[in-house]
Amino acid sequence: MTNSMINTDTQTGKKFQFDVIVIGSGIAGLSYCLECVRLNPTVKLALICKNNLTKSNSYYAQGGIAAVKDENDSFAEHQKDTLRAGDGQCNLDAVNEVINHGPKAIKFLQKHGILFDGDSANNPDLVKEGGHSKSRIFHVGDHSGKTIIDGLIEKVRQNKSIKIFTEFTAINLIEHNIGHFPKQLNEIIGLYILENKTKKIHSFIAKCIVLATGGAGKVYRYTSNPDSATGDGIAMAYRAGARVQGMEFYQFHPTLLYHPQKNNFLISEVVRGKGAHLYLPHTKERFLKQYVPKHMELATRDIIARALFTEIEKAQENFVWLDISHQPKELLLKHFPMIYHELSTLGIDMAKDPIPVVPGAHYLCGGILTNTAGETDLPRLFAIGETAFTGLHGANRLASNSLLEGVVMALNAAKKTKQWLNKPLADTRTIKPWCSESIIDYRRASQINAHWRGLRGEMTSYAGIVRTEDGLKDLLQLIHTRRTMIEDYYWKYSITQDLIELRNISLIAELIVKSALLRQESAGCHYREDSPQQKMYLLKKVIA
């Protein structure tokens, strides 16, 4: 054994049993927890987070949550905007279900203490974002996600039915066969989960498993997502046999701050909604007039992101300018206090200076195939929020529809999971504890982790905002080579959080690339340069 290799104590941990296990603490996971315990007062629920409770895409959402409120607005208008943004790929049933339950989602949040900007609950300060025909965004300044998540976390902590586990990383789903030849069917009855601090791997068993693990922005070099966004739920469900869909549709937000000290800070859509201009550093030309002269900075994200990518590449620049310095400072401080403060710490005064921005991976429109109640192909397994694919977003998500979908799915799933609480599990004594030789090779681990940098760079170059068939095919070969090495290390050595995330993100990369190859025509945020014209398909259901 070399000096870099050491034996450690076995990683086998304890067995925990609950009625429901929720993985993820974004708006979908937290909302589900609160609604589930309301509907089932005696339920024993575990909330699992691989970091702290605030490490989620929801927490960093600046804009807000879209819902119809104003008398000049309507469900039909919101649906039309959603369908237009989704570029002909939306599931009509999902669009109707989620949009029509917007007011219910807002009331749920208000009931749990969330106070949106405005004079009162009946007179909110609604704002407009790109792709919306009306002002319908409920918000709290420019830190809506933080306020909502902080409020929901407080309610979750107060509930004695909810047991919180932080610094616990889910590894794999535990399956139990309930089918017969020739068709076998596995139900999901738990997960193997790594306790990050002790390195022990515990078995968590439950009557119902809810995946609310968010997106996978870490697969790209530039992303607004936190480091924890590694597609864990999608990867685990796919390995267990659940279908995924829409993985080619990765939305890039047009305005991610370009700065060495803060490379995942988002400049909210609302900044453009309040009149910000985009232009090139060397010409100061508002280049969007060449692409979307009618809508300019208020066009949908896919179009603006593609325009930015094209202009940056053509001009050989590293970024473009986002400029709102023509607006009064008082307006900026009122609507963007958090953004103003963060930029000022970097020496940027948005009341005087333009802001350097680049497009960055922001939201995965695809995911685990579900209906709007989060039901997957596998019994007892639910997926909600960004980790799920209902078809609401189609090929491109409309701004501020994500928090809305998270709440609506959570409320629907809480009702649906109730049926599983009365169905006993099979004999869980047959579940084998995690078994590992627990050998750590520090040098090899460092080499394997180097795949992070290579994979993210390759995905950005070959499977980012603009794609080609030749590039995708080259990338798929590279990913297969990387995955072979990663899987080999996974089965031989001790399990760490870094290795779990790397294994998951490499699978997510493969699913994105395969999906991008299968969809040869362009649609929404999936842009094939070798086939830019979309073939219009009929809108269809994605799940019965």
Task: Give me the active site residues, please.
Answer: 301
Closest-CA residue to 149 (of 22, 270, 266, 28) = 28
Q: Cα(first)–Cα(last) distance of the chain, in Å? A: 55
Please report the DSSP string for 331-355 in residue order.
HHHHH-HHHHHHHHHTT--TTTS-E
Cα–Cα distance measured from residue 161 to residue 278, given in angstroms and rounded to the nearest whole number? 49
Tokens of 330: 């008082």
CB-side neighbour CA atoms (13 Å) of 108: 27
Evaluated on CA atoms 410, 414, 420, 424, the torsion sign reads positive
Q: Alpha helix locations (H) across 117-222? A: 144-158
> How many C-beta neighbours within 10 Å does residue 513 have?
27
* 433 upstream amide cis, omega within 30 of 0: no
Q: Alpha helix locations (H) across 261-316? A: 269-273, 301-315
Q: Is residue 63 within 8 Å of 400, Cβ to Cβ?
A: yes
Evaluated on CA atoms 219, 225, 229, 233, the torsion sign reads negative
Task: List strands edge to edge, sheet with 45-48.
Answer: 162-165, 45-48, 20-23, 208-211, 381-383
Q: Alpha helix locations (H) across 118-231? A: 144-158
Q: How far from 56 is each of 92, 151, 202, CA to CA, in Å?
A: 28, 14, 23
Burial of 118 (0-12, 13-18, 19+ CB in 10 A): middle
Helix axis angle, 469-492 to 442-449, nearest 10° = 160
Helix axis angle, 144-158 to 401-421, nearest 10° = 20
φ, ψ for residue 161 (rounded to 5)?
A: -80, -10
Name 108's Cβ contacts closer than 8 Å, sequence gap at least 6. 31, 35, 407, 411
- How many residues are recorded in the chain? 544
Contacts 24+ apart (CB under 8 A), 309-312: 309/252, 309/359, 309/464, 309/465, 309/466, 310/466, 311/280, 311/287, 312/358
DSSP-assigned letter for residue 526? B
